[in-house]
Every structure is written in structure tokens, then in C-alpha cells.
Structure 1
Amino acid sequence: MTALGFLYPGHSAEDDYPRIEQLLGGDIRVDLVHTDIGEDAHRVDALREMGSAERLAAGMEELRLAGADTVVWACTSGSFVHGWEGAQEQVRQLALTAGMPASSTSFAFVHAAREIGVRRVAVGATYPADVAALFAEFLRAGGLEVTGMRSSGVVTAAEAATWGEVDVLTLARAADAPDAEAVLLPDTALHTVAHLALLEKSLSKPVLTANQVTVWEGLRLADRRVNAPSLGTLFTRQPLVQA
């Protein structure tokens, strides 16, 4: 049994995780612990506080007791707002506290894009424009080319959690660009897992979403690869051999 641990801020789209666990099947267990979100605001200062070392450390004991093998900070905005170096330090501290391999959703997007062999990406963000721009900057620091960005101006995770299939598909279509090899939809507060097949069929290209890549990152840390076509291209390709 491989036990994947996730620190998830507040209560928004956490039901994506048991859904993914079911779709993975077999001997994969998904353990999710909620962290204190503090102020629910897609604002840089609030997001930095939400991802503070103290808030993340508070959830680690429960994951250790659950027997997690890896831990991922399941929040995109609460990691990339620290910048590339700051997000690396956040993960380093989390690994030290946890005593196990650690990562975050922001790094998961970069690693997932590399895994499927894409470099040019379009981004459909729920966030306000200034926060979305920080995500694009993070991706560029990770070696990706952002060909287009669409910001929806959603100011809280609670609002993002109310979005349904039509809203998610509309955002993805609006963000897509002809020269983009994949479309990225950040925000772990956004329900996307049930819509992955429709998204990729509609756009005719890979779509990477926050909760999807977060679980994939946990598997990557555990050195596991699972074929699960209903979870999109990311879960159907053979791992690329890195030069």
C-alpha cells in the first residue's frame, strides 16, 4: 500500500481527492488533512500567510500518524506567491518537518508539464490578475513558456468551489491558444476531476488541473506510476526519459 499525504487548505474541492483515489484503484491510499486557511482571500499577503511554515506544520502530525509516505502542499496560490526560491524553501521546510519527501501543487504543474513533454502552455486562472501573473512568472522560472493567460477575478476559494462543469469548460476554452501545447487550470479549490475527459476532448490537447497534478506529484514522490485514463493524458503516458 502506498499512502499519499496531502495538506489541503480549508474546505472547497477536497472531494476531488477521494474521487481520484477511487479512479486510481489498487493499492493507493489518499490521506488528506485540512490546514487552517486563515483569511479566505486570493490576495498575496493572505496567500503567503496561508502557506506559512507554522500552518503547514500543524497538520503534519496527523499525516504521520496515518502512515503517509509522501506529502504535498495541495495549494497552488499558497506556494507560487512565494516565488520560485521561496516555494523551494517552503517545500524544504515541509520535508524536514514531515520527515518524508515533500512538494507542492505549483511544482507539480511544472513537473507534470515536463512529464507529458510540453513547454508552451496557456493558463486559465480563477485568481485576480495580479495573482495569476505570479503563477505565470513561476511557470517561466520552471522553464515553461506561457503563451496566454486568462484571469477570472475570483477573490475567494469558497467562490471557486461553486463552479460547475460549464464554468470550468468556459474558462479552459477562453484560456486556450493555438500555440499552446497544453492548458493549465490552477486552484485546488476548483472542482475539475470529474471534467477532465470533457476538457481534453473539447480542447483536443492535454489539460492539467490543480488537484489532478497534486495527486500525480504525490505518486511521483513515491516513485509510482499509475495508468488511469479517466484522469487525463497525465495518467496515460509512459514517463519520459529525461536527458
Structure 2
Amino acid sequence: MTTTTAEGLWARSYHPAPERPRQLVCFPHAGGSASFFFPVSAQLTSVAEVLAVQYPGRQDRRTETSPSDIGTMADLVYAALGDRIRSRPTAFFGHSMGAMVAFEVARRLEADGGELTHLFASGRRAPSTYRAESVHRRDDDGIVDELKLLSGTNAALLGDEELLRMILPAIRSDYTAVETYRCEPGATVKAPITALTGDDDPKTTLEEAEGWRAHTTGAFDLQVYPGGHFFLSSQAPAVLALLREHLAAGGESAR
């Protein structure tokens, strides 16, 4: 597989803007797909080119097996997108499981001599925090119940039994990956980190979100929004304004 093919397999550029000096790479949540970030791409194309990571096991990659390990996922993402990420100033935005994948890809980038302008970690507690969770061990109905609880999956999809059963293996793999993830002790990145969280998120307390501070040797900022685990939906204008400010400022830590 060539680098170009691998890049196209793992990332979607819904609004190509190669002339932009900066780029933002977005990492979806467990069960999520690249298309979740289509609106982000549309709104930010004036300041940066937005790439959305497409994990295996969903949409056009639905016949592939999704890794059930965050480290493996990060290895594969970096192998496919490393050259693209290093090509110009780049920031990462990851939501929920995506925040973990983004953090691990950032570690690989920096270990390889690259540099990330900023890491936006949304809807996920710090890598060093731990909760005993076992959604991945539930039966299919139990996993669907969790998706409904968090309100992060399209309601039409939850009502389409055939399609839902088709993607459940990938969702289970995602939950396995995020629930069995254990951060390497003392793991940090040089990139500044902004943690974003909802004030009513059952998956992340404010203290757990604040814990991201220990994972950067650069600047840290915590942004708290009204809402639950998917506060991104109701707070999209505010989150987009934050990202636009960062990208327009040339990748400098502005908060």
C-alpha cells in the first residue's frame, strides 16, 4: 500500500484546502466516523484544512476489522498520516476515544522528531485517570443502551437494526480499546493541551479533565461547557470559535 493510498484510507478531506498554511486533524469518538467532523471542516476551511480520521470497521471501511487497542490504532494512524502531519503546522482535535488516539499519535509524532502546535482533548478524562468500565463485555443490546445514554449516535442509525448490527463489531472494538487503555506512567507531550468538557458529562469529572495538565510540558487550559458527553452538539459555535481563534493565530497558544 502506498503512502498516498494509506493516507486516503485513513483520512477524509471534505473541503480540500492545500493552500492553507495550517491543518487540523480530527479524531472521532468510539463508534464515530470521519463524517462526524464534516460540519467542522465546512466551518473552518477559511483558516485551515481539516482532515477527519476514518477508523476501520465503519462506513466505506466497514468490511475491515477495527483494532481493539489504542496503541495499535495510533501506530496505524501515524504510519498512514505521519508525512502529511509533518508537512505543515498541525493541531489535533479528539473527542472521547479520539482524544486518547490523538494523544498517542502526538507522542509518536514527537518521538519521531515532529511537532504538534496544539492538542485539543474533548470529552475524555486524562490518560492517567482510571475507571473500571466494561461496556465492551456487554451483549449487543447493552452496548446499544450505552450509545443511547450518551446520545452520540445518530437516532436514525439506532433505529436501523440491520445497519446497527453491521457496525456493532467496530463499536465493541472501540469500547474495548478505550476501556482497556493504560497510559504509560509519566507520559507527556510538548504540545500545549486544551481540555474541553461538559459540566454534566457522566464520563468525565472536572477533576479528571483537569488531569490533562500533567500530560504536557507546555501550556494547559481547561474549557468547560454546558452539557453532557456530547456537549459538542449544543456548544458547536463556542467550540468552533475556540478552534478558529487558535488556527487563525498561527498555532500559537492563545489562552
TM-score by length of 1: 0.39
Quick one: higher RCO (CA 8 Å, sep 6+), 1 or 2? 1
TM-score by length of 2: 0.38
